[in-house]
Amino acid sequence: MTGEQTEKSAEQPNQHHKPFLSLLTQKETDPLPSSPPVWMMRQAGRYLPEYREVRKQAGGFLNLCYNPELAAEVTIQPIRRYGFDAAILFSDILVVPDALGQSVRFETGEGPRLDPLANAADLARLDPSNTDKIFSHVYETVDRIKSELPDETTLIGFCGAPFTVATYMVAGRGTPDQAPARMMAYRDRDSFQKLIDMLVDTSIDYLRGQIDAGAEVVQVFDSWASVLSDDEFDQWCLEPMVRICNGLRQYHPQVPIIGFPRAVGPLYRRYVEKTGVNAVGCDTSLPLEWMRDELQPLTVVQGNLDPILLLNGGPQLEQRVKRIIETLSGGRHIFNLGHGIIKETPPEHVAQLVEYIRAAAG
Ligand code: CP3
């Protein structure tokens, strides 16, 4: 008994100082914190003047992602301002195609551009054997963040889920419904399967590298999962995520994995059951009572404030924060948005949000 405890504390130093990591690793029956740990998707970004300043200095967006000093700086900016319980590595999900040799460009005001991947010949040009040239910049960033981050702040690493990354690789850009990837999945199933398989293996390597460099939790963003039918969801989102979780757990069984299959409605339950994720990111449309009754008994729920309400601010924001916390306070809950923060959001609203969260819980 004593031996077991000693071993555990030796393995996880400082864990009791880290409310976010503790919640993710504690047993369901352990006492809950007085207020939910909080962080926000896209918490480092254009709504912050100090981010815009560094972004200018870096030149292009990917230059910022690959500059460990500047990427570490923008990761820590929102922690300094708001004291969030977690920092998320500053990078992008499209670093993975870039590392595979499908170069990515970010044109001002237009979002990402890649040369579209249309067929087996395009696929054959990707090179999964040489990704570390790019990934090593990210690992160096993680290492730097780790040495600068306050002890109580948990560092989250991340990648995009294979399907979501594939939608950008196939279309060469964001589209309203990601039809090009869905078409390829029907028309040339073998090629699409090969692409997904390559992304599964690369994602495992990449997350493993981030953890080796110091990431304490990882999140997998499947922002486009909701465009698929249930059968296609099983094949392109669920099954690959099961493989990522199993693959990663072979190397790092203790590191919590957060899944974010955005806006998949009732499929959330199957996703949690099959993958065994340690927490699940819930989008804004998921009813709070459903999260409480269907998901919270299975895992930690994370979410799900409407980013538009944060942009708006005011009394409605305070009321909704209270209702989210009250509904989910009987189980394990991480406060977050239902999707990324919107760039027009006044930074004062975020400060107010953090105050409301801490006050609502008393
Ligand atoms: O603070 C954080 O959350 C960490 C950094 C982060 C970024 N992108 C920085 C970023 C994370 C976790 C992401 C994830 C990401 N990137 C997703 C999944 C989450 C989601 O929002 O659904 C997706 C789909 C992408 C792809 C991507 N990156 C797009 C479509 C765009 C352009 C749209 C936009 O918001 O401009 C980006 C660019 C991007 N990634 C920015 C930031 C801060 C803005 C670029 C800039 O500074 O000019």
Give the model confidence (pLDDT) of 23-61 as tens digits: 999 988 889 999 999 999 999 999 999 999 999 999 899
| Dihedral-angle region of residue 178 (phi above 0 means left; psi in -120 to 50 means alpha; beta otherwise) | left
Q: Is 118 part of any domain?
A: no
Task: Give the pLDDT of residue 333.
Answer: 98
- The rounded distance, in Å, linking the Cα atoms of 219 and 258 is 5
Instruction: Flag whether the pTM goes above 0.85.
Output: yes
Q: Is residue 341 part of a domain?
A: yes
pLDDT in the model for residue 3? 39
| Residue of 255, 237, 245, 261 whose CA lies nearest to 338 | 261
**CA 91 to centroid of ligand 1, rounded, Å:** 8
CB of 41 closer than 6 angstroms to any ligand 1 atom: yes
Q: Which domain holds residue 324?
A: 288-362
pLDDT of residue 235 exceeding 60, the answer is yes
- ∠ CA 40-46-47, rounded to 5°: 65
Q: What was the pLDDT predicted at 16? A: 52
Question: Could you count the other beta carbons within 10 Å of the beta carbon of residue 3?
Answer: 7
User: Is 182 part of any domain?
Assistant: no
Average pLDDT of the chain, as a whole number: 94
Identify the residue whose C-alpha is closest to ligand 1 atom 43: 45
Residue to mutate (ligand 1; options 39, 42, 108; most atoms within 8 A of CB): 42
CA dihedral of 320, 326, 332, 333, whole degrees rounded to 10? 10
Residue 12 has pLDDT above 70, yes or no: no
Question: Does 168 qualify as catalytic in the annotation?
Answer: yes
Find out whether the beta carbon of 299 lies less than 6 Å from any atom of ligand 1.
no
Residues 314-351 pLDDT 10s = 999 999 999 999 999 999 999 999 999 999 999 999 99
Joined together, the tokens standing for residue 28 give 């369901």
Residue 101 maps to a domain: no
Q: Would 324 be classed as within a structural domain?
A: yes
Interatomic CA distance for residues 245 and 116, integer angstroms: 28
With a 6 Å cutoff on the Cβ, whether 88 touches ligand 1 is yes
Residue 362's pLDDT is 56
Is residue 326 a part of any domain in this protein?
yes
Quote the pLDDT of residue 27. Answer: 86
- The answer to the question of residue 163 being in a domain is no
* Banded pLDDT at 2 (limits 50, 70, 90): very low
Greatest distance between any 2 Cα atoms in the chain? 59
Task: Name the residue with the closest Cα to ligand 1, atom 33.
Answer: 111
Ligand 1 pocket member 60 (CB < 6 A):
no
